């Protein structure tokens, strides 16, 4: 079974440098059979980074990528609060750098049309766009998107694949929200390994729109891999979730950049 | 620095090893954290006695410490415990070890303790302070602890079941505050307590190793989290618990693989001493 992990970070690992952190991350990934990892954001979590901090965060990921070019994919961290800097970072890290995707977190909700230039440029570059989403019982952060917010964005860019990070956390509601928007994909990462999530995602979206991710190192690889290994699904569908679907989504930009996998 | 070559070598070893296949060893696995019956908000896979027993046997579990989800909200715990005992005995008496529930805020909870032990032959009992709305600082909890010592029966405290962020809005249940437990266990060294579903943060901020305190691994998160915890927590006081069928059972099993553990350590984890 080939496994690519859609959703990893450098925060919360031993080591002072990006290279040391990535070394630790890969040590654990190796033990559980993960071949490639998508990494975004830097050595610490910054929910609303300044332009300078955005650049620093991306520089840290670039160092990790340079150390492990055959194991890590990088997504550039952008912010709805700093559109000009974000557009410049897209050029620096994706158009002229090794990164292959975009990460949007909680600086601003993604239904805001201010984000449109970022999505449009990312699409031109074939970069895969990942948007964090949650539906928290106790309430979201002010700038934290819901799956419904992402549906609004996806309707403005119906030909651009967009990833619904965490499937909204409360995945039963998240799946309902994104089910009928065919350019939205479910990220299984970063929630408790509640039984049934993967079966429900495949039932709602079909086997081609569900992606394994861990949110390591905040989560263990184990708890998140179990969502797929433990699902009552045929092995070929598990392979799609673990690898084939993400590989398909990344193929345009990997091909454009000449990255062989 | 791992290279693609070294990764492929390791991946091949991973593929060859039956890491997700039944039975970590010939003596099987004891899973200390399981439930029968219905989760209140939705159906779960394997939530009938036969389905759960079949699922666990297929994974190599040979002893399953099993409580009842009905105990979370049902007022009549006497009936809940009787159903649990009957279902375990009828379905898989060699596998399903019934763990009854007590609620020290109920009148005459001592009767339930006696029935669980003397009528149903239960070897341990389970508490849900979050759902039953008491704290570990309440005198009622201490009274129950002292009664359990007298009855020579260990207790499992379920510190949490579900991420607070995804709980049903009408039934929000905060994680149990464990901070008073170390002093209490020091004060009452005869007590035997296993805390289920504690997160690494809860452990590091509230607990300290003690010969009368056990933990399980079901809610531990983070890369290599078991080996990390073992830097400060004795393996003899740690147990394999899955929180199935609420969680995928494989999550706990894979944690033994993600951490660098010796066969002896894995055997210790999967054969807890709480009931010995």
Per-residue 3-state assignment (H helix, E strand, C coil) for A172-223: HHHHHHHCCCCCEEEECCCCCCECCHHHHHHHHHCCCCEECCCCECCCCHHH
Give the Cα separation of B31 and B203 in Å (integer). Answer: 20
What pLDDT score was predicted for residue A261?
86
Residue A193, chain B, CB below 8 Å: the answer is yes
- Beta sheet of B213-216, edge-to-edge order: B100-101, B125-127, B155-158, B193-196, B213-216, B238-239
Res. B11: pLDDT tops 90: no
Quote the pLDDT of residue B4.
45
Whether the bond between B245 and the residue before it is cis, its omega within 30 degrees of 0, is: yes
CB-based contact A68 B10, cutoff 8 Å: no
CB–CB contact B223 A232 (8 Å): no
Using 50, 70 and 90 to split pLDDT, how confident is the model at B74?
very high
Q: How far apart are alpha carbons A232 and A201 in whole angstroms?
A: 12
Residues in CB range of B208: below 8 A, 6 or more apart: B182
Q: Does A176 touch chain B (CB under 8 A)?
A: no
Measure the CA–CA gap between B14 and A143, rounded to whole angstroms: 41
Q: At B15, is the pLDDT very low, low, confident or very high (cuts 50, 70, 90)?
A: very low
Residue of B nearest to A220 (CA): B222
Q: Does the beta-carbon distance from B248 to A23 stay under 8 Å? A: no
Beta-bridge partner residues of B29: B61
Query: How far, CA to CA in Å, does A49 sit from each of A53, A55, A104, A108?
Result: 5, 9, 12, 11
Give pLDDT tens digits for B93-145: 999 999 999 999 999 999 999 999 999 999 999 999 999 999 999 999 999 99
Distance CA A254, CA B67 (A): 50
Of B42, B164, B248, the CB nearest to A138: B164
Contact A32/B at CB under 8 A: yes
At residue B5, the pLDDT reads: 43
Cα gap A105→A57, rounded to integer Å: 13
Of A31, A137, A195, the CB nearest to B165: A137
- Could you report the predicted ipTM of this complex, rounded to two decimals? 0.96
Residues 1-20 of A with CB under 8 A from B: 1, 12-13
pLDDT for B276:
64
Residues from chain A that touch B58, judged by Cβ atoms under 8 A, are none
Domain-by-domain residue ranges, chain B? 27-161+173-269
Q: Which residues of A touch B250 (CB under 8 A)?
A: 225-226, 229-230
* A175 and B CB contact within 8 Å: no
**CATH code for the structural domain at B27-161+173-269:** 3.20.20.140
* Domains of chain A, each with CATH number or no CATH: 4-257 (3.20.20.140)
pLDDT of A87-107, one tens digit each? 999 999 999 999 999 999 999
Q: How far is CA A101 from the centre of its chain?
A: 8
Question: Across the interface, do B221 and A67 touch by the CB < 8 Å criterion?
Answer: no
Name which of B252, B254, B257 to mutate to probe chain A: the one with the most chain A Cβ atoms within 10 A of its Cβ. B254
**DSSP category for residue B117:** I
Taken in order B56, B57, B61, B63, the sign of the CA dihedral is: positive
Q: Is pLDDT of B209 > 60?
A: yes
Share of chain A above pLDDT 90, in %: 99
- What residues of A are in contact with residue B10 (Cβ under 8 Å)? 30-31
Q: Do A218 and B250 touch (CB under 8 A)?
A: no
Residues of A in contact with B246 (CB under 8 A): 194-195
What residues in B contact A31, CB-CB < 8 Å? Answer: 10, 14, 224, 257-260
pLDDT digits (tens, 9 = 90+) for A123-166: 999 999 999 999 999 999 999 999 999 999 999 999 999 999 99
Q: Which residues of chain A lie closer than 8 angstroms to B14, CB-CB?
A: 31-33
Query: Residues 81..100 of A with a Cβ closer than 8 Å to B: which?
Result: none
pLDDT for B275? 76
Chain B residue nearest residue A25, CA to CA: B223
- The token pair that represents A120 in the structure block: 């449009």
Task: Give me B256's structure tokens.
Answer: 């033994």
Determine whether the interchain pair A134/B167 forms a contact, defined as Cβ–Cβ distance below 8 Å.
no
Residue B17 pLDDT: 35
pLDDT band at B273 (very low <50, low <70, confident <90, very high): confident
Which pTM was predicted? Answer: 0.94
Beta-carbon separation of A31 and B260 below 8 A: yes
Q: Which of A170, A176, A226 to mutate against chain B (most B CBs within 10 Å)?
A: A226
Tokens encoding A21: 């952190």
Collapsed DSSP state (helix, strand, coil) of residue B104 = coil
pLDDT at B7 over 80: no
B164 vs A199: CB contact, 8 Å cut-off? no
- pLDDT > 70? residue A207: yes
**Is A220 in the B-facing interface, judged by CB distances under 8 Å?**
yes
Which residue of chain B comes nearest to A224, CA vs CA? B251
């Amino acid at each position: 079974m080939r496994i690519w992990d859609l959703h990893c970070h450098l925060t919360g690992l031993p080591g002072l440098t990006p290279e040391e952190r990535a070394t630790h991350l890969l040590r654990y990934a190796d033990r559980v059979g993960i071949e490639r990892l998508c990494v975004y954001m830097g050595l610490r979590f910054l929910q609303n980074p300044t332009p300078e901090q955005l650049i620093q965060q991306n520089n840290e990921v670039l160092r990790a990528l340079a150390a492990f070019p055959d194991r890590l994919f990088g997504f550039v961290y952008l912010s709805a609060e700093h559109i000009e800097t974000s557009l410049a970072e897209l050029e620096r890290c994706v158009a002229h750098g090794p990164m292959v995707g975009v990460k949007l977190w909680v600086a601003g909700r993604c239904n805001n049309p201010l984000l449109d230039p970022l999505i449009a440029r990312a699409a031109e570059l074939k970069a895969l766009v990942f948007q964090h989403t949650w539906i928290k019982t106790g309430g979201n952060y002010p700038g934290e998107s819901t799956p419904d917010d992402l549906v609004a964005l996806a309707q403005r860019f119906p030909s651009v694949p967009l990833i619904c990070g965490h499937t909204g956390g409360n995945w039963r509601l998240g799946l309902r929200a994104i089910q009928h928007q065919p350019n939205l994909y479910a990220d299984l990462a970063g929630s408790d390994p509640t039984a049934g999530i993967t079966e429900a995602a495949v039932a709602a979206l079909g086997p081609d729109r569900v992606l394994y991710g861990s949110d390591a190192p905040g989560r263990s690889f184990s708890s998140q891999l179990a969502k797929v290994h433990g699902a009552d699904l045929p092995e070929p569908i598990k392979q799609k979730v673990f690898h084939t679907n993400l590989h398909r989504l990344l193929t345009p930009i990997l091909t454009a950049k000449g990255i062989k996998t | 620095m791992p290279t693609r070559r070294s990764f492929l070598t390791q991946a091949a070893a991973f593929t060859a090893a039956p890491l997700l296949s039944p039975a970590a060893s010939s003596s099987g696995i004891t899973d200390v954290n399981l439930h029968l019956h219905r989760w209140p908000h939705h159906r779960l896979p394997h939530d009938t006695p036969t389905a759960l027993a079949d699922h666990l046997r297929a994974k190599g579990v040979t002893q399953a410490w099993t409580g009842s989800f009905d105990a979370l909200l049902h007022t009549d715990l006497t009936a809940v415990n009787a159903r649990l005992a009957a279902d375990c005995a009828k379905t898989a008496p060699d596998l399903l070890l019934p763990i009854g529930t007590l609620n020290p805020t109920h009148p005459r909870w001592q009767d339930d303790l006696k029935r669980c032990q003397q009528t149903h032959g239960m070897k341990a009992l389970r508490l849900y302070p979050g759902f039953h709305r008491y704290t570990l600082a309440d005198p009622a909890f201490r009274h129950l602890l002292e009664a359990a010592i007298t009855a020579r029966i260990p207790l499992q405290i379920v510190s949490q079941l579900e991420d607070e962020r995804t709980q049903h809005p009408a039934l929000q249940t905060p994680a149990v505050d464990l901070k008073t437990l170390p002093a209490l266990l020091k004060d009452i060294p005869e007590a035997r307590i296993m805390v289920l579903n504690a997160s690494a943060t809860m452990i590091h901020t509230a607990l300290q190793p003690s010969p009368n305190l056990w933990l399980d691994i079901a809610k531990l998160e983070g890369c290599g989290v078991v080996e990390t915890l073992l830097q400060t927590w004795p393996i003899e006081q740690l147990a394999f618990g899955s929180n199935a069928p609420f969680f995928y059972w494989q999550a706990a099993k894979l944690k033994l693989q993600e951490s660098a553990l010796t066969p002896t350590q894995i055997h210790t984890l999967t054969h807890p001493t709480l009931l010995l």
